[in-house]
Each structure stands twice: as C-alpha cells, then as structure tokens.
Amino acid sequence: MAQTPDIILKEIKSKKYKPLYFLHGDEPYYIDSIAEELEKRVVSEAEKGFNQFVLYGKDTDVAGVLSYARRFPFMAERQLILVKDANKLGGIEQKEQQARLEEYALHPLNSTVLVFCFHANADERKTFIKAFNTNGVVVQSKKMYDNKLPDWVSSFCQQEGVKVSPKAVQMLVDNIGNDLKRLSNEIRKIMVNLRVDEGIDAAAIEKFVGISKEYNVFEFQKALMIRDVMKANQIATYFSANSKDNPLAPILIILFGFFSKLLLTHASRDKTEKGLSAELGVNPYFVKDYLLAARNYPLGKVVNIIHYLRECDGRMKGLDGVSTSEGELLKELVFKIIH
C-alpha cells in the first residue's frame, strides 16, 4: 500500500531511510519535498561529490540507472541515486526493462538509496512498482481538493512555527489556489519579513503577497455576502480593468464554492457554530459569515445564483455562440446575484 507523503517525510527527518523510493502523482510539491529532504540528509556534504548522483530521465535509461545503483559507496555508509523526471526514463515503458527494475527492486543494495521522481500518475499494479513497495516505499502525491487547502495551510504554518489567522489562510487559498509549491513559497517569503513575535495576518498577506487591500476575491465575496452593491461593483470594475491578474475562471470557482456551502447552510438542521463548521468543512471563524449570507439570500435565491454561475461559466467558454468580455460577464453576474 502506498504511504502518505507526510509519514515518509517524518521518517526521513528521523534518518530512517529505505533503499527504494518510487514517488509519483500529479502534485509535484510532495515529490519534490521528499526528494529534497533525501538530498539534504542521506549523504553528508563532504561525501556528496562521490556518493550522490542526480540523473534525468530524458538523458539516461534503465540500464544506466541500475549501473549506478549497483555500485558501492566510496568510503561512506551509503550513496544516493536520484532520478528526476523518471517518467521520461529510456525504456521505462518496456516490459523487458521493467523486469530489470523489478529484479533490482527485489534484491536492492542496502547501501544505495534509489529514488524515482515519476512526475505523473503511475499504475501501482505494475509488478516493478509492487517490487519497489516490497523493499522500499511507493508514495502517491495527489492534487489537493480545494476544501482541504485551508487545513493544509494552517498545518504547514504550524510546522513552520508561525501563527496564521483564519482570514489570512482564506486569502492565501482564494488568491493562490491549490498550487502547494507556490503556497509554501509565499508563506516562507512572508515569514522572512516578520518579526520573531509576529504571526501571519491579513495585513501581512496584503503587504508581502501583493494582494490589493481592497480589491481582492476575498473582499469581493464579502461584498456580495452582505449585498454591498457599490463595493461589489467597484471590485468587479477593478477586476475587469485588470483581467490579466484577475481572470474570471478562478473567481467563478471561488463563488461557486461559497454559494454551494451557503446551500448546505440552508439545508443543515444543526445551525450551531460547531455543527455548521463540520458540515461546511470551514474554520468556525467563518460560520458567522455563512449565517449572515443565509439571512441575505433565501434558499430559492441561492439556487438561482448557482444557476447564474453555471450560465456565466458556459458563456465565458463561448457556449452561447456570442463573444462577451469577461469584464462584462462579471458585471452582469454581480447584478443578477445582488438584485
């Protein structure tokens, strides 16, 4: 069974190494994080010149990788063979070469740590991958669902030893999305600029991530939530004038998520903070926002809004056969939502 990236990272940090790692999936963040952690720890700096080798799939083949893997470390306990873009490795799709990998994986050298960074989803039913799992680990790095992102950001900040406010978490998620690499980089960038006793709040996000204090998706959603016609139209106009930095598609995704949760709010029997927090999968801090929005938007209106969002998405993709700018579509959407 494939193990989770977090478990493997903890093992590596505890210096518990396996002779084989097969890292695959459509989320590069964990593949790169595990590879970087192994590069940092398996071979000491003084020994890396003779005992650490970084190979690239497009530049080598299965036979070349195995020739490195079968050599013994030079005056060291172990060596690291890191194969990046292993999905492009010469012969990787050929059964004969897969058999050679399987043979090595069933009898690996304990002094070699062989790492395949397979930047795509692999079929774990293949016998050579099963062999990797027999004497090593197979790790699948999956794209994270949007509703899991706030918890991931909060957890990441906790691991990095910095406090983060719920609003700051939501601003990061709304403006960056499920690009874990960029999220982690932005958080670390903010941390570098903070005092030791400071946490990450909305002001820090605005200052260091470059998100406009007044004109961002978070404030746009808030304006719609409280039915602030003037503010919502001001932000929509700003987005229209700066469409390159504020494309319509991500805005629709965020609004669809918000109003879908608002639909659940209406349907939920438990309207307590704890109950709704669990039902909606949001931080308890935001439950009051959904309760407020539920008072401003009755159930029937919410159903209509979800229809408007789907309609806007279709028109943006040209399904109505009429060419309308994203800015005009957004302004029209704001009118339909609020009125």
CA distances from 87 to 18, 60, 180, 240 (A): 21, 11, 21, 41
Work out the mean pLDDT of the chain and round it to a whole number.
Answer: 91
User: In 84-101, which positions are buried (b, 16+ CB within 10 angstroms) versus exposed (e)?
Assistant: bbbbbbbbbeeeebbebb
pLDDT at 332: 94
pLDDT of residue 318: 87
**Overall average pLDDT of the 68-80 stretch:** 94
Average confidence (pLDDT) over 317-332: 88
Exposure string (b/e) for 228-253, b if CB count within 10 Å is 16 or more?
Answer: eeebbbbbbebbbeeeeebebeebbb
Residue 1 pLDDT greater than 70, yes or no: no
How many helices and strands in the chain, by DSSP H and E?
A: 17, 5
Which residue in 302, 257, 37 sits closest to 147, CA to CA?
257
Task: Quote the pLDDT of residue 2.
Answer: 54
Mention the CATH class of domain 5-141. Answer: alpha beta
Strands 112-118, 137-141: pairing kind: unpaired
pLDDT at 210: 75
How does pLDDT run across 227-265, given as a tens digit for each residue? Answer: 999 999 999 999 988 888 889 998 999 999 999 999 999
Residues with Cβ < 8 Å from 56, sequence gap 6 or more?
A: 83, 84, 85, 88
* Cα 92 to Cα 40, 44, 83, 87, 203, distances in angstroms: 27, 30, 12, 7, 49
Domain locations in the chain? 5-141, 146-208, 217-338
**Per residue in 191-230, pLDDT tens?**
988 888 889 998 888 888 877 777 888 889 999 999 999 9
CATH of 146-208, one of 1.10.8.60, 3.40.50.720, 3.40.980.10, 1.25.40.90: 1.10.8.60
pLDDT band at 148 (very low <50, low <70, confident <90, very high): confident
Sign of CA dihedral 91, 92, 94, 100: positive
Instruction: Indicate if the pLDDT at residue 32 is higher than 90.
Output: yes
pLDDT-above-90 percentage for the chain: 68
Average pLDDT for residues 5-21, to the nearest whole number? Answer: 93
Over residues 129-143, the mean pLDDT reads 92
* Of 323 and 26, the one with more pLDDT: 26
User: Higher-confidence residue: 281 or 69?
Assistant: 69
Whats the size of the chain, residue-wise? 339
Torsion of CA 140, 110, 135, 141, to 10 degrees: 0
Tell which CATH classification among 3.40.50.720, 3.20.20.70, 1.20.272.10, 3.50.50.60 matches the domain 217-338: 1.20.272.10
Averaged pLDDT for residues 43-57:
93
| Torsion angle in degrees (nearest 10) through CA of 54, 159, 168, 31 | 20
Under 8 Å between Cβ of 131 and 14: no
Confidence of residue 324 (pLDDT cuts 50, 70, 90): confident
> By percentage, how much of the chain surpasses pLDDT 70?
99
In whole angstroms, give the CA distance from residue 152 to residue 284: 16
Q: pTM of the full predicted structure?
A: 0.71
- Please determine, for residue 190, whether its predicted confidence score (pLDDT) is greater than 80: yes
Adjacency order of strands within the sheet including 137-141:
52-56, 79-84, 112-118, 20-25, 137-141
